[in-house]
Structure 1
Amino acid sequence: MERFCIDVINATPNPQQVVWAAMHQDYSEDYVWDSRDRWPPEQRSGELIVKHLLAGDRGHYGCLEHPQITFNVGYFPHSMMQQVRTHRVGVSFDVQCLAANTEVTFVNDKGETSKEVRTTIGELYELWTNGEKTIPQTSISEIKREPDEDYKRKGKSRIRKMNLRVLNEDNGLFETGTIKDVIYSGIQPIYRVTLADGKTLDCTVNHRLFTAAGWQTMGDAVGLVTAADGCVIKLTKSCSVMCNGIAVASNREPLQWQSQLQSTGTKIQAHPVKVINVEYLGEHKTYDLEVDGQWHNFVANGMVVHNSFRYTGQRIINVAQGKQDIEEVFYLRPVGNYTNRQGKRYFYSEAQRNEDLKWCLAACQRYQQRIEEGLSEEHARGLIPFDARQNFVLSCNMRSLMHLLDLRWKKDAQLEAQKFCELLYVHFEQWSPAVAQWYKENRAKKAKLSP
């Protein structure tokens, strides 16, 4: 369990003061914002919440739903994530996504800039799922249709043949790749990132951008701080995003980012452009691409972005080839004594654990063999152990956070889920100390349902 980690991506500032304001607005005929200079400070607000709202189970706990917090969760086993997702209320497992108006860059076989075509990701999804409307010629089609009905030509095969511009992350030059899937990711909060050269990108806070410092989520890259309603309060970090490219000599040294045109060579090289602003746009439909091939990125509105978090299986192959440690990819419990909720008691020995590590390695090798034989990743992954480590983003409000702790911090909960809750509580206590202390004293590990 030593690898488990949880970090805070973003959180509502002064959350206890937010709850206090909600409590008072609910019962006041006046507009409480007009008296904001008289609001109690954060610590005092927390004390008043406990005294007038939480103590004695008085009810009216909707006020606790206003402050929001988002966690980055790392290296937990798949089975634990499945438990966390079960019976959840008000908890969101976020994915990286782009807005429908995002333009994706396609090129010809040689990757030539002069031949590039840009299509929005929303249009790609429509073509991918519903096909392309056209009126067939009677000489080449015998399809029966109504007189005014458009014939729909399959879109997936056409999109798969298109050359997507992707970045070779080893040498910084653009190459071509292909699309494996176009994904609709639901309605999510969207932010507009603006660069110094005027480029803009509408994306979620968790979408990964290829910056001058490497891959980073948008929120981490700019140090985004937001209010409870999602509006941007400030950016705390300077960031430059790698962009579509400038022509360079094809024999130049790799990874020497240049800001000026070097030659009229045939290669296109990414270059950094500074982020100057981020603004909240509200909730919109979002989409993403799954890119086939070695490089899992594409050019969106002229910026290099990561593709979907869809499963690729590369880390499994890395284990099979000895390039990655088994326990970095799979989770096995430590040697020791165990018991479960059914009362079964046993000792998991070092010899047993070593045998299980060998079994994980053999499964990875079998996985690699099946991939080489032509099986798809989603088919071959059924061969690997269930408890592959998972990284995910978790968002919740203060009330749903306590509900999650109620469900999974019980003494008979899965051990890994209990450890997950211990790490969550540390951040809960730092974020909202008075409410967290009340929770620990009155509800923690008692299997109650949160207020």
Structure 2
Amino acid sequence: MTTPAALSPTLFPLGDGIGSVALVQHVGDDKMIVNAARVSFGGDSDAPLNDRDEKLIRYLLRHQHGSPFEHNLITFKVVCPIFVDRQMVRHRVGTCLTGDAVVTFVNTNGETVPKLRKTVAELYRMWTQGEAHSLTAPPAQVATALGVLREADGRYGALAEAIRASGLSRNTVKRYVSGHIVGHRNSRKRIRNMRLRVLNEDTGLFTTGHIADVMYQGEQPVYRVMLADGKALTMTPHHRVLTSQGWQTMGEALGLEIQGKTATMSREAFFMVNGLDVYRDREWMAAQRAQGRSVQQIADEAGCSYHTIRKWLKVHGLQFAHEERAFPSGHTPWNRGKSGYRAPRVFTEEHRAAIRAARSGERSNFWKGGVSSERANINRWTWEQSRRVHEKFQFTCQSCGERRPELHAHHIVPVWADRSLALSFDNLVTVCADCHRNIHRSQASELAFARQLNPDVILNGERPKPRGRKLKAHPVKVVKVEYLGIQPTYDLEVAGDWQNFVANGIVVHNSKNEISGRYVEMQERNFTPTSFRKQAPSNRQASVEDDGTLDQAAAAAVWAEAWRQAFGAYQELLRLGVTREQARGVLPLSLYTESYYTFNVRSLLHFLGLRDHEGAQYETRLYARAMAELAEPLFPVTFREWRELHV
């Protein structure tokens, strides 16, 4: 059951005719909650709600069985002051993708490989349930080993007998006997550390970010969007995607028209996708040329070869002209004015070295491989020494001080800082896998750890930048959209400067959908309180009503003047040609913003319990009450039982 947007009720919590809460759509009812609870034992039915069903809802709420309430969804469009929006944002549930959407993660060079790809459903399982421990052995082999040990009852040689019988290693059997092995481990830290591909919206180039949360959004109506290059993504119509016209909801971008189970697009749209090498983009290459960069500098910036850049400069018609060649001012070519000469074939030692450097090794067209690189040899040697290093430090991480099953040998002075210490045993120390990743997160963290062990250490030079080609987002036409029914949906919250990620190769926004001052000019809509409150003397987060000591007129005048100056400065910056994304920085928190919020019933009740509470901000409480007023008629039994429990 879905409420059409055209019939959606709207409430104005602040009474000023601007701030509003509108019901956009909803899926489900009280009966769906009951059926979700009973489906596991075949007790769901289409019969009307009865007394027994109401008792079940009361039981679920009383004993905090939340999952049956997650299959119903309510979407609100909220127009509120920014300071109210910030109070609500911690509890929002965003628009969604289906579980088969593949999220792109990259390695340290910014490159994606198949083993790094995860579907949203996989990420949710890892986030909520964890994952199988890497040291977990097959249950049958473990049972065999433990059975032999029980029968041996402490007899000498029992451990060796158990090892032979099970086929497991000595250390694995000892770990199971000591109880150090668990079936699953918490994976949230691992997910947060994975490098998520995100788009730097200033440069148009892809960089990396990190996941802050993975959320299940319940079952919602979803639509599959197909692009001309074969990419496809299934999502709700309110999920925002990056188009050639900026951020838009999928429904807005396509002009989505829904008639029953048929979905059609009424306008042409281009979604931004990843994977275009920057040197293939003429605008990027032209910008590099305009900055006066040489072919080699452009190649270094793009992460490709000199010859590739020369080729694509020609493709784009951006070749270097004769007068741009790197000759010093006043240079005279050695052969000017000469004719009929024959250059003597005399090679200096420097000339021979240059020829060898240009044509030997990997640069030769006869190259068929070679000896291992220096870096590979250092890695091999370090691994060979790791056992001795761990014994030296009693198998204890020298960063966190704990004994862990997965230990690494770490160079105190990094290889990039001093090659002469790369094969020095005294330069190695034991760290656990988690600490090792954190140490190598930046040059500053490497230096900080090195100075923990040796305060006098100095790291010379700069850590090499990650290799890998730079990729640019580019538009691809949408060719088809189709309705796929109601399916489980999920979403991610992304930490960092750029609130987006790549799913199935398409750039999408993370969960919260808010009007963006980067793409539209903000309207002159300011919230002014009808009366001003005083700071609570005993609670720095609360306020109390004015007892007559506040000069209300003076406070209102200060508020109005601050707004006038701030919005005037915003308009003046735009007039001067400053980009919208920077000009909006002077706008105050009283500015009205617009957002879509989608809750499942469980998260909505949790939100109302926190934000319609005597300790919450007054304006935020008004919005929470408006949401409850719109949602309660849709789930009357659930709200009635919930209110009785919270009286």
What TM-score do the two structures reach when normalised by structure 1? 0.51
Structure 1: any 5+ residue segments left out of the alignment?
Answer: 12-68, 84-92, 319-323, 337-343, 361-384, 396-413, 422-451
Amino acid at match of 2:554: A
The SS at the match of 1:176 is strand
Following superposition, the deviation at residue 215 of structure 1 comes to: 0.3
> Per-residue displacement from partner, 1:320-370 (whole Å, max 9, x unpaired)?
xxxx99987x8333689xxxxxxx99x99442225568999xxxxxxxxxx
Which residue pairs with 1:286 in the alignment?
Answer: 489
Amino acid at match of 1:108: N
- For the 8 Å contact 2:19–2:592, the answer to whether it is kept is no
Identify the structure with the greater helix proportion: 2
Shift of the 74–326 alpha-carbon distance from structure 1 to 2, 3 Å rule, reads closer
Which residue pairs with 1:200 in the alignment?
Answer: 232
Amino acid at match of 2:94: V
Distance (Å, rounded) in 2 between the aligned partners of 1:223 and 1:245: 27
- For the 8 Å contact 1:242–1:272, the answer to whether it is kept is yes
Which residue pairs with 2:213 in the alignment?
Answer: 181
- For the 8 Å contact 1:221–1:237, the answer to whether it is kept is yes
Distance (Å, rounded) in 2 between the aligned partners of 1:234 and 1:187: 22
Distance (Å, rounded) in 2 between the aligned partners of 1:10 and 1:130: 31
Match 1:309 to one of 500, 512, 517: 512
Note if 1:217 corresponds to 2:249. yes
> Per-residue displacement from partner, 1:235-270 (whole Å, max 9, x unpaired)?
12111000012112399755999xxx9859821111
Distance (Å, rounded) in 2 between the aligned partners of 1:174 and 1:80: 29
Shift of the 139–151 alpha-carbon distance from structure 1 to 2, 3 Å rule, reads same
- For the 8 Å contact 2:263–2:482, the answer to whether it is kept is no
Moved more, 208-217 or 175-184: 175-184
Which residue pairs with 2:527 in the alignment?
Answer: 331
Structure 2: any 5+ residue segments left out of the alignment?
Answer: 1-15, 27-73, 138-169, 288-308, 314-467, 533-546, 564-587, 599-618, 627-647
Following superposition, the deviation at residue 283 of structure 1 comes to: 1.0
The SS at the match of 1:189 is strand
Distance (Å, rounded) in 2 between the aligned partners of 1:123 and 1:349: 55
Amino acid at match of 1:232: T
The SS at the match of 2:171 is coil
Distance (Å, rounded) in 1 between the aligned partners of 2:86 and 2:508: 26
The SS at the match of 1:291 is strand
- For the 8 Å contact 1:77–1:387, the answer to whether it is kept is yes
- For the 8 Å contact 2:264–2:482, the answer to whether it is kept is no
The SS at the match of 1:238 is coil
Shift of the 79–273 alpha-carbon distance from structure 1 to 2, 3 Å rule, reads closer
Shift of the 284–150 alpha-carbon distance from structure 1 to 2, 3 Å rule, reads farther
> Per-residue displacement from partner, 1:106-149 (whole Å, max 9, x unpaired)?
111121256783210100110111111134477378467999x9
Match runs of 1:258-269 below 5 Å: 263=312, 266-269=469-472
Which residue pairs with 1:21 in the alignment?
Answer: none
- For the 8 Å contact 1:80–1:417, the answer to whether it is kept is no
Which residue pairs with 1:157 in the alignment?
Answer: 189
- For the 8 Å contact 1:10–1:224, the answer to whether it is kept is no
Amino acid at match of 1:275: V
Amino acid at match of 1:75: C
Shift of the 186–9 alpha-carbon distance from structure 1 to 2, 3 Å rule, reads closer
The SS at the match of 1:128 is helix
- For the 8 Å contact 1:226–1:232, the answer to whether it is kept is yes
Amino acid at match of 1:190: V
Amino acid at match of 1:74: V
- For the 8 Å contact 1:185–1:288, the answer to whether it is kept is yes
Which residue pairs with 1:125 in the alignment?
Answer: 124
Note if 1:75 corresponds to 2:80. yes
Which residue pairs with 2:267 in the alignment?
Answer: 237
Following superposition, the deviation at residue 159 of structure 1 comes to: 1.2
Distance (Å, rounded) in 2 between the aligned partners of 1:236 and 1:7: 25
> Per-residue displacement from partner, 1:377-404 (whole Å, max 9, x unpaired)?
xxxxxxxx99885634479xxxxxxxxx
The SS at the match of 2:237 is coil
Shift of the 217–350 alpha-carbon distance from structure 1 to 2, 3 Å rule, reads farther
- For the 8 Å contact 1:171–1:255, the answer to whether it is kept is no
Distance (Å, rounded) in 2 between the aligned partners of 1:250 and 1:235: 31
User: 1 or 2 for the larger relative contact order (CA 8 Å, sep ≥6)?
Assistant: 2
Distance (Å, rounded) in 1 between the aligned partners of 2:86 and 2:109: 43
Which residue pairs with 1:249 in the alignment?
Answer: 279
Following superposition, the deviation at residue 310 of structure 1 comes to: 8.8
Match runs of 1:40-79 below 5 Å: 72-75=77-80
Distance (Å, rounded) in 2 between the aligned partners of 1:290 and 1:391: 19
- For the 8 Å contact 2:254–2:267, the answer to whether it is kept is yes
Moved more, 73-82 or 347-356: 73-82
C-alpha RMSD of the superposition: 5.3
Shift of the 158–71 alpha-carbon distance from structure 1 to 2, 3 Å rule, reads closer
Amino acid at match of 2:502: V
Shift of the 130–4 alpha-carbon distance from structure 1 to 2, 3 Å rule, reads same
Percent identity, aligned pairs only, is 39
The runs of at least 4 aligned residues of structure 1 exceeding 6 Å deviation read 5-11, 77-83, 143-147, 324-328, 357-360, 385-388
Amino acid at match of 1:307: N
- For the 8 Å contact 1:78–1:390, the answer to whether it is kept is no
- For the 8 Å contact 1:335–1:348, the answer to whether it is kept is no
Distance (Å, rounded) in 1 between the aligned partners of 2:593 and 2:248: 18
Distance (Å, rounded) in 1 between the aligned partners of 2:595 and 2:200: 26
Distance (Å, rounded) in 1 between the aligned partners of 2:207 and 2:87: 38
- For the 8 Å contact 2:217–2:488, the answer to whether it is kept is yes
Distance (Å, rounded) in 2 between the aligned partners of 1:80 and 1:3: 14
- For the 8 Å contact 1:206–1:217, the answer to whether it is kept is yes
- For the 8 Å contact 2:105–2:112, the answer to whether it is kept is no
Which residue pairs with 2:58 in the alignment?
Answer: none
Shift of the 239–181 alpha-carbon distance from structure 1 to 2, 3 Å rule, reads same
Amino acid at match of 1:182: V
Shift of the 171–8 alpha-carbon distance from structure 1 to 2, 3 Å rule, reads farther
Amino acid at match of 2:108: D
Note if 1:276 corresponds to 2:472. no
- For the 8 Å contact 2:123–2:214, the answer to whether it is kept is yes
How many residues align structurally? 294
